[in-house]
Structure 1
Amino acid sequence: MSRLMIFDSTLRDGNHAVKHQLSASNIKKYCQAMDGSGVKTIIVGHGNGLGASSLQVGLAALDERTMLQTAKANLEKTRLGVYMIPGFGTIEDNLKPAIADGAEVFEIGCHCTEADTTREHIEFLRNQGKETYGVLMMTHMASPERLLEECQKMQSYGALGVILMDSAGAFTMERVRWVISRLYNGLDIHIGFHPHNNMGIAVANACIAIEEGADIIDGTLRGFGAGAGNCQLEDLVALLEKSGKRTGINFYRMLDASEKVMPELMNKDMGQDPISIVSGQAGVFSAFRTHVINAARAFEVDPRDILVEVGKRKAVGGQEDMVVEIAKQLSCSTNNDSLSYQLSSLL
């Protein structure tokens, strides 16, 4: 296995968990605590990436240039990274300003069957000499063969690696082994994995991905992220080190940041609850959680029923309006006196 690279998305995916309200002080303190800890890159920004701050998916407390400039001013040894989904962000409005603000590592993401949409952006960044990775989201929705085809496209565009996002926390351990081994045997670039923890196996899935050839793991401290959260980096590093695998991480430095800084960022502990578990089973994007809870309350329907229906319709990020439509339809056919779920317990 190549040397493992840890990408830290605490200040990006974690923004989902607090409705994109991370402050400049949060970013400053976190970057100071984690700079030089051994993580390769700290990804910063709105939960959905550059250009995504909006009423539909959530307005960020800070504009993205302030976020990036704040992070850059407090990073000396660790690289500043950004994430962008074409359509939310553009080259002119977002990538060029991010370069100007000091971003060094770029993740360009898309739905798992739409790598074509990233070509212009990956090629632009590589022509600028930037370290660039392709990202496929909602990867439980495609076969290993199709995922390999999409990754090969990104490789041909010049991406230095590809990162698979288990955006819904729907991967079983067997699927991780099946998919990552297929990519490892079919690609000549780095392979990464970004697991979510809806069914409580994000760390285990990350370890299996590493065993099968992945050399990038994208996670967060305390698992801070959308839905049930991400692969908890402290747990992952502890397990890898105990297993005799060198990570290059200053483990005590990471633990200090987890203990001293993370309580200021988080408004609740991450973990599995009934909503997260059903979301993982149904294959629903973790960031839909708040929309589902709000719609369930508004229309007095079971949020689990909404998730199951959203999963059947294979909704992806950007289709949050579908949640309200489904809740409204369910309200017309549900006996409101026999709800099986207490909405107040989800808050």
Structure 2
Amino acid sequence: MTKRSVEILDVTLRDGSHSMKHAFTKEQVRETAKGLDKAKVNYFEVSHGDGLGGSSLQYGLSLVDELELIEVAASVCEYSKISVLLLPGIGTKNDLNDAVKAGAKMVRVATHITEADVAKQHIELGRELGLKTVGFLMMAHMAPVEKLVEQAKLFESYGAEVVYVTDSAGALLPHEVTERITALKNELSCEIGFHGHNNLSMAMANTVAAVQAGATYIDGSLRALGAGSGNTQTEVMVAVLEKMGYNTGIDLYSIIDVANDVVAQYMPRPQEINGSSLIMGYSGVYSSFLLHTEKAAKRFGIDERDILIELGRMQAVGGQEDLIYEVAAKIAHNSSNTHTEAPIS
């Protein structure tokens, strides 16, 4: 007997932008959108990996303007609706207005776990524009449950219709997800969502825990294409949840087809857990830091894992990508001094 419906939101064309180095082409977006629409995915996200306005030297320049990609995706969809991510301080209200003109029907306003108050005007604008409006609490492992509830209540008070527990570092374990989702279900009236990363190989287990605890919005990415070790794999999630008796509304064969016949063909590399992404989950580092860290490690000739461990100790968060190079330079400098031989007396 079917238990209840779960809304799977696909983030391939947004979170996957990190792995693609923000170089999605119009054709890649068009064909992926067609496949998602055919599979009857209700919402999927299209924007720079760091949200609207994210194309920059600090976060990475987009190959194609995201508004053009939104337009392309919207133009081929008869069923699916386009979501966009907006991080206050990166994206602006003007960016959101432009995204709506391009075809966006949902906005997910994302802040650090302790900074929900910066999202008030953006959430209110989302509601004014008639968008499905979501609050997205990133790096959810970095605050106690009580703080999570406090911040989620702020989102709800601003008008968020869904509030997400976002495991940006892939650092949470299933019992921690259960604890957080349960707390929000008990304290909020709006719907609850979960966004997972697979740096500790916990994405699917965490997703199942979230659904069982009452989350009704769940993120996934085709072939797990996303930052770090990627996200919960959409096509696998559809199969798992259907086997558990949940109704996803997504056609399993069609979602497998777009994953294998489209996304797998343009992925730059398989999404796997390697030493560096594993350390990201272990030390609680923002998943989108991975490629920046690899680049810094090569530049300074050091072990990228050392950079990630230090970033985790510093509790670095999204928006602090410049710290990656500062930390790398410091480690290289200290290593050079350590290995300098003492003069013979």
Listed one character per residue, the Cα deviations across residues 279-323 of structure 1 (whole Å, up to 9, x for unaligned) are 111100111111111111222222111101001111111111111
- Structure 2 portions without partners, runs of 5+: 340-345
In the TM superposition, 1:1-347 aligns within 5 A as 3-92=5-94, 94-334=95-335
In 1, Cα distance between equivalents of 2:252 and 2:18: 26
How far off its partner does 1:39 sit?
1.8
Contact 2:279–2:309, Cα closer than 8 Å, also in 1? yes
Sequence identity percentage: 41
Contact 1:160–1:189, Cα closer than 8 Å, also in 2? yes
In 2, Cα distance between equivalents of 1:292 and 1:3: 39
Listed one character per residue, the Cα deviations across residues 194-245 of structure 1 (whole Å, up to 9, x for unaligned) are 0000011101100000000100101101100011000001111111122222
In 2, Cα distance between equivalents of 1:108 and 1:314: 22
Q: TM-score, normalised on structure 2?
A: 0.95
Contact 1:299–1:328, Cα closer than 8 Å, also in 2? yes
**SS in structure 2 at match of 1:318:** coil
Listed one character per residue, the Cα deviations across residues 127-178 of structure 1 (whole Å, up to 9, x for unaligned) are 2222100111111111111011111011011110111211110001111111
Contact 1:68–1:103, Cα closer than 8 Å, also in 2? yes
Contact 1:106–1:132, Cα closer than 8 Å, also in 2? yes
Question: What one-letter code is carried by the residue in structure 1 that aligns with 2:29?
Answer: I
Q: Quote the residue 1:345 is aligned against.
A: none
Question: What one-letter code is carried by the residue in structure 1 that aligns with 2:8?
Answer: I
Contact 1:301–1:336, Cα closer than 8 Å, also in 2? no
In 1, Cα distance between equivalents of 2:126 and 2:239: 35
Question: What one-letter code is carried by the residue in structure 2 that aligns with 1:22?
Answer: F
Question: What one-letter code is carried by the residue in structure 2 that aligns with 1:112?
Answer: I
How far off its partner does 1:2 sit?
5.1
How far off its partner does 1:337 sit?
11
**SS in structure 2 at match of 1:10:** coil
Question: What one-letter code is carried by the residue in structure 2 that aligns with 1:42?
Answer: F
In 2, Cα distance between equivalents of 1:50 and 1:278: 28
Contact 1:22–1:265, Cα closer than 8 Å, also in 2? no
- State which drifts further: 128-137 or 224-233: 128-137
**SS in structure 2 at match of 1:252:** helix
Aligned length in residues: 337
In 2, Cα distance between equivalents of 1:183 and 1:85: 22
Q: TM-score, normalised on structure 1?
A: 0.94
How far off its partner does 1:36 sit?
3.9
In 2, Cα distance between equivalents of 1:237 and 1:124: 32
- Structure 1 portions without partners, runs of 5+: 339-347
Listed one character per residue, the Cα deviations across residues 253-286 of structure 1 (whole Å, up to 9, x for unaligned) are 1011111101233011101000010011110011
In 2, Cα distance between equivalents of 1:265 and 1:133: 30
**SS in structure 1 at match of 2:39:** coil
In 2, Cα distance between equivalents of 1:190 and 1:143: 20
